Amino acid sequence: MKPSVLVLNAGSSSIKFALYAVINATIEAVEVCRGKVTGIGTAPAFHAERGGGGGLPPHRHPDPSGIVDHASALSVIMTFLGDAFPDAEVVAVGHRVVHGGPHHFQPLLLTTENEAELDLCATLAPLHVPHNMAGIRAAQAAFPGVPQVACFDTAFHRQHPWVSDTFALPRSYFDEGVRRYGFHGLSYEYVSQRLREIAPDVAEGRVIVAHLGAGASMCGMRNGRSLSSSMGFTALDGLPMGTRCGQLDPGVLLYLLGEKAMSVEAVTDLVYNRSGLLGLSGISSDMRTLEQSDDPRARQAIDYFAYHIRREVGALAAEIGGVDALVFTGGIGENSPFLRRLVCAELGWLGLALDEAKNAANAVEIAAASSLPCFAIPTNEEIVIARHTARLAGFASDEAADAARSTTLAAPTG
């Protein structure tokens, strides 16, 4: 049998998964496979692909028709893995957990006691954490006795200066957890590590990373460490997103609740599900659809998105003391030459200019020769989770553990 780490990312109606082999007590650079179950409870579907491309081994196609919850979704995933990769033995399971609250700033080997603490974080991220926990409990039932590790999207940002993470509310609110957390930390951790491989001198400097996808945020780093994030108390703040509004005057919410007599549930649905690119365009939340549309509302939505990215570049540059490089990542950041060009066209004041051919080809290094460095780096949150999981479960070598520790954070001071 081949020891393997299974990585799970459980959402409200989906589970994404990836399988990594543990070889010579370290994590193989290329995953064995990855896939997802979508439409849990409604119209379930299953998809999987071989890590690094290529066809899957012979296997029976999974039947998703009986998937009604996370447990049955995981059962289908397990059946597929056992059929396609019969030599793989799952020795540890790693989970993406969106919110770790004010106390969790490192990956966590789960126990009964600290699991109860994570349940309390559901009040800070009610649309995410309950589903993350459902995935954890399904995995515990499926793999009894196998170590389970939680990796937090908020952890990478937990060493911010106090002034960066504090709202100007009475201090008692900060003490009970009402503060800025930042998200997409697993993505930023991967980009930080990858940039050290691509351009180590640049990675030690002042770097702004834009994680742009259905959820979008930006992070200002120095020497690979997060100093500021555009997202705050929730994953609503900062940039506009696919269906989320981004930064919003709190007076607007008071107006909607008071003058419009909207319920909390209706406002929640508005700002999470009917705003952002979808709300602005009235067409779609998908950047690919908007870029292909000749409707002027589509271009207005794209321009709004690009404007706020540029605005955040300026704010982060002030916070980290300048800019030595700009990095794009996430589904849009990695794959949209048009959006990158639109953003960078107004950043000449930074000394930034794109190489049009490299940008069009989605190359990793996309800056012109005389420009401030600029990169488009595909993110890989799953390998970050797998490395942390192998280390905490005791399967990583000293070399792998050192690599993981390179972005492990000190306890925050705030």
| Averaged pLDDT for residues 159-176 | 95
Query: Does 153 participate in catalysis according to the annotation?
Result: yes
Query: What pLDDT sits at residue 398?
Result: 47
Residue 190, classed as helix, strand or coil, is helix
Burial of 214 (0-12, 13-18, 19+ CB in 10 A): middle
Give the tens place of pLDDT for each residue, 265-280: 999 999 999 999 999 9
More confident call, 391 vs 124: 391
Domain regions of the chain by residue span: 2-152+382-405, 185-376
| Measured distance CA(263)–CA(267) in Å, rounded | 6
Residue 94, classed as helix, strand or coil, is strand
| Measured distance CA(147)–CA(325) in Å, rounded | 39
Query: What pLDDT sits at residue 410?
Result: 41
User: CA 90, 23, 73 angle in degrees (round to 5)?
Assistant: 25
Report the predicted TM-score, pTM, of the whole model to 2 decimal places: 0.91
Structure tokens at 158: 């937990």
Instruction: Select the CATH number that applies to the domain covering 2-152+382-405 from these four: 1.10.645.10, 3.30.420.40, 3.40.50.620, 3.40.47.10.
Output: 3.30.420.40
The set of residues, in sequence order, having a beta carbon less than 8 Å from that of 320 and lying 6+ positions away, is 206, 208, 220, 221, 222, 227, 228
Amino acid identity, position 114? N
| Measured distance CA(194)–CA(186) in Å, rounded | 12
Output the CATH code of domain 185-376: 3.30.420.40
Give the tens place of pLDDT for each residue, 177-232: 999 999 999 999 999 999 999 999 999 999 999 999 999 999 999 999 999 999 99
Residue of 69, 119, 153, 295 marked catalytic: 153
The residue count for the chain: 414
Average pLDDT, the chain: 91
Q: What does residue 207 show for φ and ψ, rounded to 5 degrees?
A: -125, 135
Query: What pLDDT sits at residue 403?
Result: 45
Query: What pLDDT sits at residue 121?
Result: 82
Q: How far is CA 39 from CA 42, 70, 97, 321, in A?
A: 5, 11, 20, 45
Q: What does residue 144 show for φ and ψ, rounded to 5 degrees?
A: -60, 135
Give the tens place of pLDDT for each residue, 343-402: 999 999 999 999 999 999 999 999 999 999 999 999 999 999 999 999 998 876 544 444
